[in-house]
């Protein structure tokens, strides 16, 4: 038993994580259901570090020094349970199983509970950064016990991405499913970021009349400012790409139906359960859904729209600046909503998640990495109990400065018939939160009218009901 860590499940992610551990000086036992993949990994990359090839589950477990650290990188769902079932009987109390797959946090909570009874630490760890990140440094969001993090953390810190200030993009998120919960919300925010960028693109194209290549340049400029992020950077690359077969912009030859694997949907489902308004993330999930309804779209194509109002070059340039403001403001809102969901999940499950630490470990390695996350971290550093990112002075000032342009962009989008559900949902959230009075008072009146659901008053304590079917006097409920 000589390996400090083992990786089972050697598709793209597991294979690259195993290489990352080996490149960082750890001896790595490798295992895969189909053993040929483990063999191939050692044959191909054996010179990168110390690998221990193992064929059977027994050999794999025997190769690991105690307490054993066993990383599972298999297809999420059923396969994860199958692998746990295979390995758990071979392990001893104190050993750790780390699930790096995209598990649902509720499954992670169940698995952690079941394995805890055997004395085995189960660590649900969200891993972001795709194939490239797994190899060169992902952002890692581990849950599980503090004890398991003590044994595992230093290794994860070594292989994780590093932020610009050199700090590792991993930290103990909290017990049981906390890590996978945070990874889920990370993906939800990723959906929202992508949708907002897509809306900015479409507005620049259809309202301002810019070509994909010109928009790529605009995004490159934005990427040198406060929107500096991986997603803006790759958006410019995608927009500048020309299809070799047709000579057309690549973005014009790709079918406009966005697919999804489910983590965005989970983020919204859980937010509904927790009562957290994540309207920006929800619109992003719905926008992908709308794009996929090709029959519905075909049947609706003849519906009336507004006449085009082309902009002059000067107007287009001014509009592009406004879109930057709208994008930035909407982005602040989607992170506000995502962090609210994490705070609510943390309270619900007793995880005690440090929101500043979450922002900190998203600064590098992961898909939503951005200069912006430094700001979020600073906001929570300044005030750990910040009730909302919008309550941070700096963000409040910036979003306030952006609001006129944000509104102007939505006016233009509406006039020209370009859908911008992400921008619109974000602005509606902002306006709802700052409103002195909401029409929820009227909603309460309606509920009391048809269902005697009662209401509270602004001027007295207690619950009240109006006798709507009678003399309309008020009674205390
Ligand atoms: P896949 O999700 O495609 O999973 C393939 C691996 O799972 C193979 O090693 C396969 O073994 C193994 N496997 C499948 N079923 C079983 C089973 N019943 N018993 C044992 N092993 C099984 O691989 P990826 O590398 O793409 O992803 C791994 C995990 O990481 C997934 O949970 C994914 O959601 C997550 N993830 C992926 C990212 C990505 O960018 N791809 C990013 C972040 C997380 P065999 O070779 O024998 O078929």
Best mutation site among 8, 10, 12, 13 for ligand 1, i.e. most ligand atoms within 8 A of its Cβ? 13
- Decide: 33 in ligand 1 pocket, CB within 6 A: yes
Q: Is 128 annotated as a binding residue?
A: yes
Determine which residue's CA is closest to atom 7 belonging to ligand 1. 74
447 known ligand binder: yes
Q: Is 331 a catalytic residue?
A: no
ipTM entry: 0.97
Task: Report how far ligand 1's centroid is from the alpha carbon of 64 (Å).
Answer: 21
358 lines ligand 1 (CB under 6 A): no
**Confidence at residue 404, expressed as pLDDT on a 0 to 100 scale:** 98
| 36 Cβ closer than 6 Å to some ligand 1 atom | no
User: In a structure prediction context, what are the per-residue pLDDT tens digits for the chain, which is 477 residues long?
Assistant: 699 999 999 999 999 999 999 999 999 999 999 999 999 999 999 999 999 999 999 999 999 999 999 999 999 999 999 999 999 999 999 999 999 999 999 999 999 999 999 999 999 999 999 999 999 999 999 999 999 999 999 999 999 999 999 999 999 999 999 999 999 999 999 999 999 999 999 999 999 999 999 999 999 999 999 999 999 999 999 999 999 999 999 999 999 999 999 999 999 999 999 999 999 999 999 999 999 999 999 999 999 999 999 999 999 999 999 999 999 999 999 999 999 999 999 999 999 999 999 999 999 999 999 999 999 999 999 998 999 999 999 999 999 999 999 999 999 999 999 999 999 999 999 999 999 999 999 999 999 999 999 999 999 999 999 999 999 999 999
172 is in an annotated binding site: no
State how far the Cα of 420 lies from the Cα of 171, in Å rounded to an integer: 36
Q: Is 226 in the pocket of ligand 1 (CB under 6 A)?
A: no
The reply, when asked if residue 13 is annotated as ligand binding, is yes
User: Hey, whose CA ends up nearest to atom 35 of ligand 1?
Assistant: 101
**Contact yes or no for 193/231 (Cβ under 8 A):** yes
**Residue 111 CA: distances (Å) to CA of 92, 118, 311:** 16, 11, 58
173 lines ligand 1 (CB under 6 A): no
- Nearest-CA residue for ligand 1 atom 9 is 9
Specify the residue with its C-alpha closest to ligand 1, atom 15: 79
User: For ligand 1, is residue 131 a contact (CB within 6 Å)?
Assistant: yes
Active-site residue among 48, 85, 183, 309?
A: 183
**Pocket lining: 17 vs ligand 1, CB cutoff 6 Å:** no
| Residue 34 is labelled as binding a ligand | yes
Tokens 């990188």 — which residue? 73
pLDDT confidence of residue 347:
98
8 A C-beta contact, residue 466 and residue 448 = yes
pLDDT given for residue 163 in this prediction: 96
First and final C-alpha spacing in the chain: 70
Q: Is 44 a catalytic residue?
A: no
Task: Give the 3-state secondary structure of the chain.
Answer: CCECEEEECCCHHHHHHHHHHHHCCCCEEEECCCHHHHHHHHHHHHHHCCEEECCCHHHHHHCECCCCEEEECCCCCHHHHHHHHHHHHHCCCCCEEEECCCCCHHHHHHHHHHHHCCCCEEEEEEEECHHHHHHHCCEEEECCCHHHHHHHHHHHHHHCCECCCCCECECCCCCCCHHHHHHHHHHHHHHHHHHHHHHHHHHHHHCCCCCHHHHHHHHHHHCCCCCCEHHHHHHHHHHHCECCCCCCEHHHHCCCCCCCCCHHHHHHHHHHHHCCCCHHHHHHHHHHHHHHCHHHHHHHCCCCCCCCCCCCHHHHHHHHHHHHHHHHHHHHHHHHHHHHHHHHHHHHHCCCCCHHHHHHHCCCCCCCCECHHHHHHHHHHHCCCCCCHHHCHHHHHHHHHHHHHHHHHHHHHHHHCCCCHHHHHHHHHHHHHHCCCCCHHHHHHHHHHHHCCCEECCCCCCEEEECCCCCCCEEEC
DSSP 95-112: -EEEE-S---HHHHHHHH
Report CA(362)–ligand 1 centroid distance (Å). 23
pLDDT tens for 398-427 read 999 999 999 999 999 999 999 999 999 999
Tell me the CA–centroid distance for residue 250 and ligand 1, in Å: 30
For residue 463, the surrounding DSSP H or E stretch is strand 463-466
What pLDDT shows up at residue 1? 65
Nearest CA to ligand 1 atom 11: 33
d(CA 155, ligand 1 centre) in Å = 22
Residue closest via CA to ligand 1's atom 19 equals 79
Query: Quick check: bond before 284 cis, omega within 30?
Result: no
For residue 219, report the distance from its CA to the centre of ligand 1, in Å: 34
Ligand 1 atom with least separation from CA of 129: 42
Q: Check pocket membership of 447 for ligand 1, CB cut-off 6 A.
A: no
- Protein residue with least CA distance to atom 20, ligand 1: 33
């Amino acid at each position: 038993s000589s390996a400090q860590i083992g990786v089972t499940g050697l598709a793209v992610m597991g294979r690259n994580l195993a290489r990352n551990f080996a490149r960082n000086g750890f001896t790595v036992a490798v295992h895969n259901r189909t053993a040929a993949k483990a063999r191939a990994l050692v044959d191909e990359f054996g010179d990168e570090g110390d690998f221990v090839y193992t064929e059977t589950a027994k050999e794999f477990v025997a190769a690991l020094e105690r307490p054993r650290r066993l990383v599972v990188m298999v297809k999420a769902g059923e396969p994860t349970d199958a692998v746990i079932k295979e390995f758990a009987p071979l392990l001893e109390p104190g050993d750790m199983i780390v699930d790096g797959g995209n598990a649902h946090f509720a499954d992670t909570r169940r698995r952690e509970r079941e394995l805890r009874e055997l004395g085995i630490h189960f660590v649900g760890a969200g891993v972001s950064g795709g194939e490239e990140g797994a190899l060169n440094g992902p952002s890692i969001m581990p849950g599980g016990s503090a004890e398991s993090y003590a044994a595992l953390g230093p290794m994860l810190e070594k292989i994780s991405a590093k932020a610009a200030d050199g700090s590792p993009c991993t930290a103990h998120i909290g017990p049981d499913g906390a890590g996978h919960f945070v990874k889920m919300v990370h993906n939800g925010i990723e959906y929202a970021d992508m949708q907002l960028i897509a809306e900015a693109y479409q507005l620049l194209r259809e309202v301002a009349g810019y070509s994909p290549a010109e928009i790529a340049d605009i995004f490159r400029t934005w990427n040198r400012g406060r929107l500096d992020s991986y997603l803006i950077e790759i958006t410019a690359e995608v927009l500048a790409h020309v299809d070799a077969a047709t000579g057309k912009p690549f973005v014009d030859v790709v079918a406009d139906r966005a697919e999804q694997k489910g983590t965005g949907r989970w983020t919204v489902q859980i937010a509904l359960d927790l009562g957290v308004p994540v309207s920006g993330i929800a619109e992003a999930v719905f926008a992908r859904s709308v794009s996929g309804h090709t029959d519905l779209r075909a049947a609706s194509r003849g519906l009336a729209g507004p006449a085009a109002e082309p902009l002059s070059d000067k107007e287009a340039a001014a509009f592009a600046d406004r879109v930057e403001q709208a994008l930035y403001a909407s982005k602040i809102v989607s992170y506000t909503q995502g962090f609210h969901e994490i705070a609510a999940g943390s309270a619900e499950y007793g995880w005690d998640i440090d929101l500043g630490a979450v922002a900190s470990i998203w600064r590098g390695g992961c898909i939503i990495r951005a200069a912006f996350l430094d700001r979020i971290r600073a906001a929570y550093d300044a005030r750990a109990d910040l009730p909302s990112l919008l309550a941070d002075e700096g963000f409040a000032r910036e979003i306030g400065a952006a609001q006129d342009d944000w509104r102007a962009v939505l006016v233009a989008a509406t006039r020209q018939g370009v859908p911008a559900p992400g921008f619109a949902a974000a602005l509606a959230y902002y306006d709802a939160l700052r409103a002195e009075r909401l029409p929820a008072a009227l909603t309460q009146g309606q509920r009391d009218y048809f269902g005697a659901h009662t209401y509270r008053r602004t001027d007295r304590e207690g619950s009240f009901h109006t006798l709507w079917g009678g003399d309309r006097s008020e009674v205390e409920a």
